[in-house]
Amino acid sequence: MNKSFKNFFLTLSIVLFAFQISFSQTIKLKLIETSDVHGSIFPYDFINDKSINTSLAQIYSYVKEERAKEDQEVVLLDDGDILQGQPVVYYYNFERTNVLHICSQVMNYMKYDVGTVGNHDIEPGHPVYDKIKNEFNFPWLAANAVDIKTQKPYFKPYVIINKDKIKIAVLGMITPAIPNWLPKNIWKGIQFEDMVETARKWIKIIREKEKPDLIVGLFHSGPEDEMKNFENGKREIENASRLVAELVPGFDIVFAGHDHQVWNTFVKNPEGKDVLILDPANAARHAAVASVILNYDKSTHQWVKKIKGEIIDSKNYKPGDQFMKKFSPVIEEVKKYVSKPIGTFTQTISTRESMFGDSPFIDLIQKIQLELTHADISFADPLAFDAEIKKGTVYVRDMFNLYKYENLLYTMKLTGQEIKDYLEYSYGNWFNQMKNENDYLLEFKIDLTGSLVFTNGRPQLAVPSYSYSSAAGINYTVDVSKHAGDRVTISSMSDGRPFDLHKTYKVAVNSYRGNGGGGHLTIGAKIPQKELAARVINSTQKDLRYYLMKWIEKKKIVTPESFGNWKVIPQSWWIKGKEKDYKILFGQ
């Protein structure tokens, strides 16, 4: 063998040896997820005018720490619902629209790698989410949000992220239940498809085309166990993250969101492999973290993965000085916006009373809805579990306590029977069937042993408080000694006219409820989902909070008071049950 050949083989041997060494070393990844931030960007609560110790600013401090570690690569992901919640995002959605959105500014600064669209990111409407998807420096995903004209995803379906030698595929999906909650004009031109079928389609494409080393699901959808519903033929399931992990082979990690719950668990996929499911709850209180250690197996030419989940508390980290300095002008600008006085309340109102019966808080909303629509009857709910507006000057910030979401206001046609059935459904989920005066009044979640289920020291309600829908414009009683479905007795219209089960009435209701949200109209009143749109007589063009604000500005001085048009019976049972439940819920 001549010298040149010897040199060639020696060089080749060295290269192959180096190649072998490089692929025998360990590679570490840390994937960090935020979800359902709902505008909690800064360590300041603009609604209640106070500093807080959980925010995206603090999570960024954690991210910076992890990025500074030389032995690992970091991937930063967001799982949607950032465009609704704190006034800072409302301000940039609808008031300060001629500049880069604050979410774009902050998330680009934090250098997110990828995000997924949430249902509350669709809620502000096309002008907002179409603008922001072009402002982000990272792809905004939703494979199952399909453009009706092109039949291609309206947002990007997936992205490939390369970290060191590792090729990561991230598939994004949004909860497909949006048509059940939001007016059609808000999502015009988009259809929302089943998550399981969408995942099966795109996993096949990703595996064949991209051949990634790690496959991640980034789903704005909760991980509840929906297997029975799926096996019974139900599709477009709201919380289907776990279903996808269990039914669609290929995922290593599924990041979930939407349900505002903490999850850190493994499930088995159809191939018997473990899939990690993580969910960081909401309001930037936590980050969900997947730590991945990869070792290259020379015999199979594949990466061997060890994956571990962790939930990080943002309160354990301080906001960085540089972050706060950069965005302090925004904070001050929004503080000024929410501090604008709009009127005066002659008394303090709270949703605490709304949990148990007729209340000034809810009846103020009912009063305004009836005046705006000239409807016969109004439905309203305590959208926030524990909100308060104090006596005295009322500011813009208080409107976010009075009305939490950017719902439109509908006027709909409902029969008397449908109105009764709607209320039966509401109170069936709201109140427990009391056996005696010592029983619970509210319907709480119960575990297999018959005990209350507690979260953060507080018993869990069977349904969220925003499902507690009561009526104005009619007089009625709710008998909690009776079975659900047989509790409501409507005696008359509140102006003294007879109430007729066969008559059609004009009803004021928010767009979430009017589109079928919560099931009050579809399950309770038994109106088919596809018929709801035809029941809508008209709709406001702007969100209800805007009209509430304008109403208060016009009145200047407002005296909130209960209509007293409904009550719970037996009265003595209601009083004792309320006292007991109030104490365990609010500690008083």
Query: What pLDDT was estimated at residue 586?
Result: 92
- Residue 96: how many other CB atoms lie within 10 Å: 17
Higher confidence at residue 21 or residue 136? 136
Q: State the Cα–Cα distance between residues 244 and 588, nearest whole angstrom.
A: 43
> What does the pLDDT read at residue 2?
57
Residues 61-80 have a mean pLDDT of 97
- Whether residues 442 and 516 share a domain: the answer is yes
Q: Are residues 328 and 350 in the same domain?
A: no
Nearest-angstrom CA–CA distance, 252 and 508: 47
Please state, as a whole number, how many other Cβ atoms lie within 10 Å of the Cβ of residue 6.
10
Q: Are residues 128 and 89 in the same domain?
A: yes
| CB burial string 269-279: b at 16+ within 10 A, e below | beeeeebbbbb
In this prediction, residue 22 has a pLDDT band, given cuts at 50, 70 and 90, of very low
- Quick one: which of 96, 116, 28 has its CA closest to 66? 28
504 domain-assigned: yes
Residues 493-508: what's their mean pLDDT?
98
Asked whether residue 6 is assigned to any structural domain, the reply reads no
- The answer to the question of residue 1 being in a domain is no
One domain, residues 399 and 314: no
Q: Which of 284, 309, 334 is the last residue of a domain?
A: 334
pLDDT digits (tens, 9 = 90+) for 196-231: 999 999 999 999 999 999 999 999 999 998 888 888
Interval 227-265: pLDDT, tens: 888 888 888 899 999 999 999 999 999 999 999 999 999
More confident residue, 414 or 384: 414
* Mean pLDDT, rounded, for 29-33: 98
Q: Give the pLDDT band (50/70/90) at residue 144.
A: very high
The predicted pLDDT at position 550 comes to: 94
In this structure, what CATH number is given to the domain that contains residue 162?
3.60.21.10
Global pTM value: 0.87
Which residues are bridge partners to 216 per DSSP?
170, 253
DSSP for residue 520: I
Asked whether residue 17 is assigned to any structural domain, the reply reads no
Establish if 11 belongs to a structural domain. no
Give residue 297's pLDDT: 87
Q: Report the number of distinct structural domains present in the chain.
A: 2
- Specify whether 292 is located in the same domain as 431: no
What tokens does 280 get?
A: 């960081």
13, pLDDT greater than 60: no
Residues 246 and 141 in one domain: yes
Question: Do residue 271 and residue 374 come from a single domain?
Answer: no
For residues 523-529, give the mean pLDDT. Answer: 96
* pLDDT value for 23: 45
Q: Which amino acid is at 136?
A: F
Q: Which residue has the tokens 């018929």?
A: 531
Q: How many of the other CB atoms lie within 10 Å of CB of 113? A: 19
pLDDT at residue 18, rounded to an integer: 47
Of the candidate ranges 234-238, 281-285, 380-384, 464-468, the one whose mean pLDDT is the lowest: 234-238
405 in a structural domain = yes
Residues 244, 216: Cα–Cα separation, whole Å: 12
**Domain residue limits at 530:** 341-586
Q: Do both 330 and 348 map to the same domain?
A: no
Residue 542 domain-assigned (yes or no): yes
pLDDT at 21: 44
> What is the SS3 assignment for 66?
helix
Determine the average pLDDT of the residues in 133-151: 98
Residue-averaged pLDDT of the chain? 94
The yes-or-no verdict on residue 281 having pLDDT over 50 is: yes
pLDDT at 483 over 80: yes
pLDDT at 19 over 70: no
CA pseudo-torsion sign 524, 578, 376, 482 = positive
Q: Give the Cα separation of 199 and 218 in Å (integer).
A: 11
Residues 163 and 282 in one domain: yes
Q: Quick: pLDDT tens for 429-457.
A: 999 999 999 999 999 999 888 899 998 78
DSSP state of 419: H
Query: Is-contact 405 84, C-beta < 8 A?
Result: yes
48 and 63: one domain? Answer: yes
Q: What is the largest distance, in Å, between two alpha-carbon atoms of the chain?
A: 112
Query: What confidence tier does 17 reach under pLDDT thresholds 50, 70, 90?
Result: very low
490 in a structural domain:
yes
Which whole-number Å values give the CA distances from 77 to 59, 83, 216, 366, in the listed order?
12, 16, 11, 40
Residue 387 contacts residue 349 (beta carbons within 8 Å): no
β 388-389/349-350 pair status: antiparallel
Task: Please report the pLDDT score of residue 56 as a whole number.
Answer: 97
Shared-domain flag, residues 329 and 354: no
Supply the pLDDT for residue 5: 52
**What is the average pLDDT across 342-350?**
97
Specify the residue for token string 């990844």.
29
CATH number for the domain including 522?
A: 3.90.780.10
Residues 383 and 389: their CA atoms lie apart, in Å, by 14
Q: Which residue has the higher pLDDT, 82 or 385?
A: 82
Q: Which 3-state string (H, E, C) describes 4-53?
A: HHHHHHHHHHHHHHHHHHHCCCCEEEEEEEECCCCCCCCCEECCCCEECC
Q: What is the pLDDT of residues 291-331, one digit of tens each?
A: 999 998 888 888 999 999 999 999 999 999 999 999 999 99
State how beta strands 214-220 and 409-415 pair. Answer: unpaired
Give yes or no for a contact between 343 and 550, defined as CB atoms under 8 angstroms apart: no
The answer to whether the beta carbons of residues 573 and 477 sit under 8 Å apart is no
pLDDT band at 3 (very low <50, low <70, confident <90, very high): low
